[in-house]
Amino acid sequence: MAARSCAGCSRLLILTHGSRDRHECRNSTGGRYAVIADEAHSSQTGLAASKLKAVLSPSEAADLDDGGEVDAQTLLAAELPQRAETPNLTYLAFTATPKSKTLELFGTPDPNDLDEDGNPKPKPFHRYTMRQAIEEGFILDVLLNYTEYGIAYELGQKIADDEIEAVDKQAAKKAAARWVMLHEHNISQKVDIIVRHFRENIAHMLGGTAKAMIVTSSRKHALRYYNAVERYVAKHGIDDVHALVAFSGKVTADPDDKDIQPDDLLPAGEYTEASVNTGTKGKPLDDAFNGPAYQVMIVANKFQVGFDQPLLCAMYVDKRLDGVMAVQTLSRLNRTWAGKDHVYVLDFVNKGDDILAAFKPYYEGAELEQITDPELVNQIAVKLDGIGLDRIYTMAEIEQAAIASTGPTASHSSLSAAIDPGTERFLKLMSDARDNDDEEERLMLDGFRSDLSNYVKGYDFLSQIVPYDLEMESRAIYYRMLAKRLADENVGITVDIDNLVLTRFKVDQKAAVKLSLATGEATPLSPLAEIGTAAARERDQAHWSEIIDAINSLFADSGLSADDAVPEIENILREAKKDPALVAKAKANSDADFNSDNTVTAAMLSKFIDRRERSEEIINALLKGQNMDTFRTLLALLGFREYLATDSKGEQDAGDDEAE
């Protein structure tokens, strides 16, 4: 809601997601306004520029693919350049997790607290700390029941190195880690832990209305978790745990995907939030989750922050969380509710010490360590000129780009005319350096490319505080466009992970701990500093065997044993599912008839024996004595008939129910 403007009067303006009332205040000729922005997160994301002329509009705030969110701090930072034009507006912001940028932009300088350069540190005009809110019972301490899980695994490869090309080492390690994170066995093991923990420790809380959240690393990761939960509860006949999955846009599982190929957990196809969460019957997910039908919300970026659900009593984290994002994510649990006196965090990725360190700056109230040096941008400009001036670009081209970008006759052709020469010169220099094996020159050019973006990043922030001259603004315009043209060709490098196999996997629970916010010293927030050239490096090539050895060495002391091996049975079952005769028998018979069929047992025994050379230790143990009764029992325990009779979408053949 908002008060209408009137000449000579004061108004209090309360802003929601709309921007119309703010425009009216800015354009009014009379009246003074206080603009109050709450911590509430917008459902819109994606700033069009750092100097927006108004509040984000729907077109300027299109959803990011993963549903990330813009908070009030970002919105106010975007508004800051307008403050000089609107002296009748005073901006007030409420946030529990101020970023260093927010403190510098909006904090009140404290002459009694100087940084090492003698500058007064900017501070909030008022502070109500996390510690005080916890002590007074307005929020809960979310770190009192924190359980860390250790993950260990070993990888292997299907094809020998001499049959495949070497790959980029760094990209391969990242791809392998992501592949393991998305792997069906990994997720299934964690889902078993999550569902058991929820039913044993959470479900009874708040009179049986308690809820939980699973935090994942991506939309595809969230979908795979959702399907794993649905499959698990169906298999075990659990009817008191039902999940929703939140994500924006459309997710496609395609056989050409580089991270992980479609499988039983996420078959090939296109998925939307509405097509997956069919039980909500079109209701918004947060409304559906508020009722009794659903107990678990699975999220990636959407709802990870800015989601207010006081019934949340547990969070299961399978995503790297750092800094303020760790605080904002876990703080989804801190809402109070009648009978809610404690919450649980089970973390499969992060270390407790790191999470505690992320919370510490905000427990007693965040403070800045140092003011950002306004000379940072000038320093980067000098470095860029030292490499590129009159070699990659000229000052005339910088001025030409600024005029083409801001002038009344700006056009795409005039912009290209200003940027194309620098682009061509850089690419020619880089090509020559590679052809001549001039590693020093190549690294210098990579550093130049990095510093273009660093200049823009520093200027976008500091120009809201420091009145830079026209030349610095012109450089920012030119460098921004040139940086886009020279985007690192290695950034999007992909590697083929089809050759990987997960040979061993282990989830190890560590003791639940109380992460004490009251002990130790808080680390002050760091300013924007030292944003110069990142160290460029040679893109190392290696064979998969070397990469796998390097990854496996990380878990050398993890205690992995043969018992932790990802069951060779899983691979054999997949082969069996490709056998039309076995699948037909599974769909036509009951469990009892199928498991007692000697031809089924003989066919499976043959498949196990065929794979003896690949996993001799495991197969020998399974086939010890070739006791047919024991083997039949094993197949029954594995739910073998049901597995064969179920299609890739998790649905059994219509005739299956009749057979039983």
- Give tens-digit pLDDT for 398-413: 999 988 887 666 677 8
Same domain for 143 and 121: no
Residue 562 lies in a domain: no
Helix (H, G, I), strand (E, B) or coil at 104: helix
What Å distances lie between residue 429 and 388, 434, 446, 447, 644, CA to CA?
A: 11, 9, 11, 13, 59
| Number of separate domains in the chain | 4
Tokens of 503: 């040979």
Q: What is the pLDDT of residue 299?
A: 93
Are residue 238 and residue 342 in the same domain, yes or no? Answer: yes
pLDDT at residue 142, rounded to an integer: 94
The domain boundary, picked from 445, 464, 483, lies at 464
One domain, residues 126 and 30: yes
Does some domain include residue 388? yes
- One domain for residues 157 and 111: no
Q: Which of 464, 486, 511 is the last residue of a domain?
A: 464
Q: Is residue 534 part of a domain?
A: no
Kindly state whether residue 634 falls inside one of the protein's structural domains: yes
pLDDT at 22: 46
Other C-beta atoms lying within 10 Å of the C-beta of residue 64: 16
Q: Residue 165's pLDDT is what?
A: 65
CATH for 212: 3.40.50.300
Does one domain contain both 57 and 167?
A: no
The β-bridge relationship of strands 167-168 and 541-542 is: antiparallel
Q: Are residues 163 and 243 in the same domain?
A: yes
CB of 241 within 8 A of CB of 210? Answer: no
Question: Does some domain include residue 474?
Answer: no
- Give pTM, 2 decimals: 0.70
Are 115 and 189 in a shared domain? no
Question: Among 119, 134, 149, which residue terminates a domain?
Answer: 134
Distance CA 398, CA 419 (A): 8
Q: Is residue 107 part of a domain?
A: yes
* pLDDT value, residue 452: 92
DSSP H helices, 544-627, are 544-553, 568-577, 580-588, 591-595, 598-610, 616-622
The boundaries of the domain holding residue 405 are 376-464
What is the pLDDT at residue 391? 94
Q: Residue 205 in contact with residue 339, Cβ under 8 Å?
A: yes
Answer yes or no: is 380 within a domain: yes
In this structure, are 582 and 645 located in the same domain?
Answer: yes
What pLDDT is stored for residue 390 in this prediction?
A: 93
Q: Tell whether 612 is covered by a domain.
A: yes
- 298 and 203 within one domain: yes
Are residue 446 and residue 350 in the same domain, yes or no? no
Question: Which residues of the chain are modeled with pLDDT < 70?
Answer: 1-31, 35, 37-89, 91, 153, 158-173, 407-410, 488-504, 528-571, 605, 608-640, 643, 647-660
Domain shared by 545 and 610, yes or no: no
468: exposed, middle or buried (Cβ count in 10 Å: 0-12, 13-18, 19+): middle
Q: Are residues 121 and 229 in the same domain?
A: no
